[in-house]
Structure 1
């Protein structure tokens, strides 16, 4: 199945080792502050060196605020569906809707039997999984539950609680019958490297798609999750090279097979940081660029497939009509003038304005700029949310905080610093791309835009300086005494730095969109 045009997501798959608990908790913390989407944990209750999966997920849910949690995948023969449904719903409520549920029909049957579970034939295992999916979904709907199956039953059970959101069910599947079950009932298909390597994925995905269509579901109803492993180095194999090579290989899977979520097996926080800061954004950029190209390229053999010439709209937006007459408009993000800081490091009324001009044939490039900016705005809001949590923590514990609260507070502070360090890299990388590539192209293509581009480059440097001051304030927060009035003063300094970053970045992004959406639609990004 080709690209399903879904948002890409990235996560990790750490080892649930009972001998390395601090390292395990630390790598999950890094994954969250670096902006990854998912952490998933294998489930082998008979493995004496592993922590219990649901206990671990509960602790991770309490120590994180944004990253989603999932067993990958739960060993169904040792997890009664009703108990599993209640555990997942409970954790979903406790984490504000951050739980997903991976299910497996069973493997390592000798170990399962040793733990008191049943031994099932392959056919029985698939039948039991089918019943379990139906029973779990019925449980989450609430009410009085009656279910009679060969493997599982419920007789007038008062089901509940209802989870905070519709919990997606993943199925690990490789054989035809399991693949068909996935297409018919599941929300996600989760193969793993080693069991299904990249050359195998297209054929397996085709079975899932056919089953989904036969059940009256679009193939996109089943998300494609891939458990991956690799190393950063100089190799030429799959996920054996540089982060840029990783990005190219993962983008190819997304565009050719429809894989949308990549979960990396690693316990190394350094690898997690590179994966989040380099591989994930580069993969998204490659996929987004190819999707934009495909959206505007003429379809082979179709004379009227190309979009018609773009039309200018009032208010500075850029519109284009497709072959079916639908109009797509790119609107600059408005700036309402709200400022959190008493002064700004630049004079906003003196900003130059570029020349008027007709819209051009590249509205998708203007939208691409806005999409990147929207991502920066979202990340900025997350930084503000994290700082607010730290501030609330200081106010709640006061000068008499206990040793445990002190350690928690320090962890929150370091979490904030690590998160913002990652965010600063993203902002700086975006501005560097503009300064070294996009801006020279626009200078050459539209000379009258030069004063605007000069001003934007000047503002990039100002924002860089604001980011540096914010970083220094974070260092003071994590290295100086955080109690009493001194602690409040340090926090106030961080808040002031963050407020100035908010003002400058949001003002700059709005100005840049207002001035560049038109030129980008005319001349593209390169």
Structure 2
């Protein structure tokens, strides 16, 4: 068992459809009303069937009051890190410290190239992501005197002005699956944000994936507990008990508690565009899961 002891977080993973245009905004409001902690959106700027995620995040910030929000995950190759850092800091200030950074190295390189982005091979995309995270943090750090400079292989920032500082220390969560990216997550990430259906061997993959994250953290003098672990999940609510995340809310809560205690996952984001699912997840599954995990930890 690997329980890193983090507080449990529950959220939604809403499809940012462009038609009807208000649908993802309405589901964000539902998520907040249901008591969920965070709402998130995938980021595919090359798909006209989806809204621009950054524009949507800004609009959702204005339509909500409490819930936090994040890209799940933002596409770094199409969002230059220095500009993204400034945008993130501004949105965090405007929202009262509710923005969280979910970031990925990119994929679908033909589509990225068609939008003017630089095509990278897998190894280079990992290096570029690490550089991008360093740049964002450097620009957010207004405690240092003078400008910020960075001369990397993929990004160069020659003496940019620092700031503005975000309203809170924006956590940077990395969407990663392969060993090299997982170790990067451990070295520089505040959190991890994969999707269950993309795990190579299903839920049991979390064990060896955590090992790579922990290895990366320890290699640079960090603790494994410095990295929170979130997971995008999907399933079905029903009266009859079925398999993993297929059954009544009580079963969901028990299964999520098992995953939290066995694999150290502390954040669970439901992939659903059904308001009823989001209500059940926030009002029934989340509080019951917290009770089960707290009892086991005690």
Please state which band the TM-score falls in when normalised by the shorter chain. Answer: over 0.9
Q: Secondary structure at the match of 2:198?
A: coil
Pick from 164, 168, 190: which aligns with 1:165?
168
Identify the residue that residue 243 of structure 2 maps to in structure 1. Answer: 237
Contact 2:43 2:53 in 1 (8 A): yes
Instruction: Give the CA deviation at 1:159.
Output: 2.2
State the structure with more CA Rg.
1
Give matches, 1:353-392, under 5 Å.
Answer: none
Q: Following superposition of structure 1 onto structure 2, how do residues 455-474 of structure 1 map, counting pairs within 5 Å?
A: none
RMSD: 1.0
Q: Distance in 2 between matches of 1:73 and 1:258?
A: 21
Deviations 1:385-422 (A, max 9, x none): xxxxxxxxxxxxxxxxxxxxxxxxxxxxxxxxxxxxxx
Instruction: Tell me the residue number matched to 1:109.
Output: 109
Distance across 2 between alignment mates of 1:278 and 1:291: 20
Q: 1:250 corresponds to which residue?
A: 256
Q: State the distance in 2 between where 1:239 and 1:230 align.
A: 5
- 1:235/1:21 Cα in 2 relative to 1: closer, same or farther (>3 Å)? farther
Q: Distance in 1 between matches of 2:74 and 2:58?
A: 15
Give SS of 1:62's match. Answer: helix
Instruction: Name the structure 1 match of 2:35.
Output: 35
Quick one: which of 179, 182, 185 aligns to 1:179? 182
Secondary structure, aligned partner of 1:13: strand
More strand by share: 2
What does 1:116-195 align with in structure 2 at a 5 Å threshold? 116-142=116-142, 143-195=146-198
Distance in 2 of aligned mates of 1:148 and 1:199: 40
CA distance in structure 2 between the partners assigned to 1:288 and 1:218 by the alignment: 23
Q: Among residues 220, 224, 227, which one is paired with 2:229 in the alignment?
A: 224
More helix by share: 1
**C-alpha distance in 2, partners of 1:130/1:223?**
18
**CA deviation string 1:306-330 (max 9, x = no partner):** xxxxxxxxxxxxxxxxxxxxxxxxx
Q: Distance in 2 between matches of 1:6 and 1:199?
A: 20
* Of 42-51 and 207-216, the range deviating more from structure 2: 207-216
Instruction: Return the TM-score normalized by structure 2.
Output: 0.96
Secondary structure of the corresponding residue to residue 12 of structure 1? strand
SS at match of 1:160: coil
Higher RCO (CA-CA < 8 Å; seq separation 6+): 2
Residues in 2 aligned to 1:17 and 1:82: alpha-carbon distance in whole angstroms: 27
The CA deviation at 1:118 is 1.1
Tell me the residue number matched to 1:409.
none
CA deviation after TM superposition for structure 1 residue 23, in Å: 2.6
- Correspondent of 1:209 among 203, 211, 214: 214
Q: Note the residue ranges of structure 1 that are not aligned, 5 or more in a row.
A: 293-526
Distance 2:21 2:119 in 1: 32
Deviations 1:230-259 (A, max 9, x none): 111235211111111111111001101100
State how far apart, in whole Å, the 1-side matches of 2:71 and 2:206 are: 22
| Distance across 1 between alignment mates of 2:74 and 2:25 | 20
Q: Matched residues in 2 for 1:270 and 1:10: separation? A: 15
Question: 2-side partners of 1:113 and 1:53: how far apart?
Answer: 19
Gaps of 5+ in 2: none
Count of paired positions: 292
User: Residues of 2 paired with 1:51 and 1:279: CA distance?
Assistant: 29
Task: Determine if contact 2:249/2:280 at 8 Å carries over to the other structure.
Answer: yes
SS at the partner of 1:177?
helix
Q: Aligned partners of 1:269, 1:114: CA distance in 2, in Å?
A: 35
In structure 1, the partner of 2:87 is: 87
Q: Which moved more, 1:212-221 or 1:8-17?
A: 212-221
Aligned partner of 2:17 in structure 1 is 17
